[in-house]
A and B are shown apart, each in its own frame.
Chain A
Amino acid sequence: MTDKNHNELIFLQLIRDNKGILYKICQLYCRNAGDREDLMQEMICQLWRSGQQFDANYKFSTWMYRIALNVAISFYRKETRSGVRVSPGGDLRLMELEDKSPDNEDLEEKIDLLQVFISELGELDKALMILYLEERPYREIAEILGITETNVATKLSRIKGRLKQQFLKANKLFL
């Protein structure tokens, strides 16, 4: 197997392993399905292109979150896409939820609300909250965003307070 093929296989495996986080970032940064598909393609493309610059001194997760979130934030601020969109096969999507039926309606509703409230945050707060929900350590969140751990804690406390208020207003007790 050539190095190129080997790298491609590793890359495809990385995407498979981390498809959940990429999907969640797309859900929170884009409102419509077409944009989400474009963002997903853009993130995968940038991850592949940045692969050669990967510094082994960094943790893989730090590197991946930085690229995915940087792409998502830049993409979010765009009004139009590049026009280069791969969509062979009509409605086929890169990632798709096969089973959409809710297991627990109350839980599903809360998850939906959480996504709506987070998607209303500013671009940076949104990135911060995603990293927090992914249970990344404060040190790593600070490293990814480029702020101090103290600042991470301060901002998180403010954002969580706001989210709790929103849940209360929506009559979904969350204390």
Chain B
Amino acid sequence: MSIDEHERSTQPDAPDQFQQLWKAYDVKLQHSLKLNQRLLEEVRSRKVRTSFNWQIGFKVMVIVLGIGWNILLGSLLWTFRSNPVFVVSAGLIILFTSYCIAGYFLQMLLMLQINLSKSILATQRQLAQLEAVIVWTLRVSFLQAPVWPFLFVPKTLPAGVAPLYWGIEGVVVLLLLLAVVWLYRRITVAGASRGWVKKMVDNEGGKSIARARAFIKEIAEYQREEVAAAH
């Protein structure tokens, strides 16, 4: 099935010089462009197996593990409910994990919705949204780090040990806080195309959507012109 010729006549003007040049290029290609049949069949059969599906499978696995972790932590919270430090820290971790589960769920939904045969602006917008959700989930997942040391604080400390224990605990929490602030500031949508942030986003399934966010500006520009043209 080749592209139908008759439709071409519905363009408002006769082919201009650019189109005539292009046509000349097309004629040359028709004569001299050769397709490697063996490679074509190999690409079709081999590349299809390396699809986007494993990323969706990975996200399902993370969601299941996250739910399992929250159930475990919830049961521990009930068991150690008499320890207020544990209750607060476990509660916060459950909240952060729930947020990340929701983020992964949203990523999965967006991935399932992406359809390359939709209009270019619609598809590219979806890809950019997916990247934003991946980056945002990644940022939030690190925020829980300073809460973790409190999970292991015993209900009562032996006399004389408490100042030293809280001193070490304080240093660890402070270091984690600094690390989290540093990570939070660096894991940005704008930074998703650079260095280790890119690697992390890529591992999260963002490889095929890298740098999509920067593209939002161009899409927005197109939309602005759309509004201007309508008036």
Chain B 125-159 against A: per-residue CB contact (8 Å), 1 yes, 0 no?
00100000000000000000000000000000000
A16 touches B35 (CB 8 A): yes
Q: Name the A residues within 8 Å of B42 (CB-CB).
A: 86, 88
A124 touches B218 (CB 8 A): yes
Contacting A94 at CB < 8 Å: which of B36, B119, B127, B212? Answer: B36
A78 touches B210 (CB 8 A): yes
Assess A145 versus B121: contact at CB under 8 Å? Given A103-B28, A139-B10. Answer: yes
Assess A11 versus B44: contact at CB under 8 Å? Given A127-B120, A144-B120. Answer: yes
Give complex CA distance A145, B123 in Å.
10
Interface residues of A in 53-82 (CB under 8 A from B): 53-55, 58-61, 63-64, 66-67, 69-71, 73-74, 77-80, 82
Q: Name the B residues within 8 Å of A82 (CB-CB).
A: 50, 207-208
B36 touches A124 (CB 8 A): no
A95 touches B35 (CB 8 A): yes
A154 touches B225 (CB 8 A): yes
A30 within 8 A of B: no
Give complex CA distance A58, B97 in Å.
43
A135 touches B28 (CB 8 A): no
B132 nearest CB across to chain A (Å): 14
By CB atoms of chain A within 10 A, which of B10, B15, B40, B208 has the most?
B40
B44 touches A137 (CB 8 A): no
A49 nearest CB across to chain B (Å): 6
B31 within 8 A of A: yes
Chain B 27-59 against A: per-residue CB contact (8 Å), 1 yes, 0 no?
011111111110111111011101100000000
Give complex CA distance A154, B222 in Å.
11
Total number of B residues with any Cβ neighbor in A under 8 Å: 68
A154 touches B229 (CB 8 A): yes
B169 within 8 A of A: no
Assess A45 versus B47: contact at CB under 8 Å? Given A18-B2, A94-B36. Answer: yes
Q: Name the B residues within 8 Å of A88 (CB-CB).
A: 39, 42
Give complex CA distance A108, B122 in Å.
36
B121 touches A137 (CB 8 A): no
B161 within 8 A of A: no
Chain A 137-174 against B: per-residue CB contact (8 Å), 1 yes, 0 no?
11110011111101101110000100100000000001
Q: Name the A residues within 8 Å of B193 (CB-CB).
A: 79
Contacting A79 at CB < 8 Å: which of B2, B15, B29, B198? Answer: B198
Give complex CA distance A79, B11 in Å.
37
A128 nearest CB across to chain B (Å): 9
Contacting B116 at CB < 8 Å: which of A50, A124, A133, A138? Answer: A50
A63 touches B218 (CB 8 A): no
B40 touches A147 (CB 8 A): no
Assess A66 versus B116: contact at CB under 8 Å? Given A61-B3, A132-B19, A137-B8. Answer: yes
B209 within 8 A of A: yes
B96 nearest CB across to chain A (Å): 31
Give complex CA distance A32, B177 in Å.
44
Give complex CA distance A8, B44 in Å.
9
Q: Name the A residues within 8 Å of B162 (CB-CB).
A: none
Interface residues of A in 92-130 (CB under 8 A from B): 92-100, 103, 107, 110-111, 114, 122-124, 127
A24 touches B43 (CB 8 A): no
B34 touches A98 (CB 8 A): yes
Q: Name the B residues within 8 Å of A150 (CB-CB).
A: 229-230
B219 within 8 A of A: yes
Contacting B41 at CB < 8 Å: which of A12, A122, A133, A136? Answer: A12
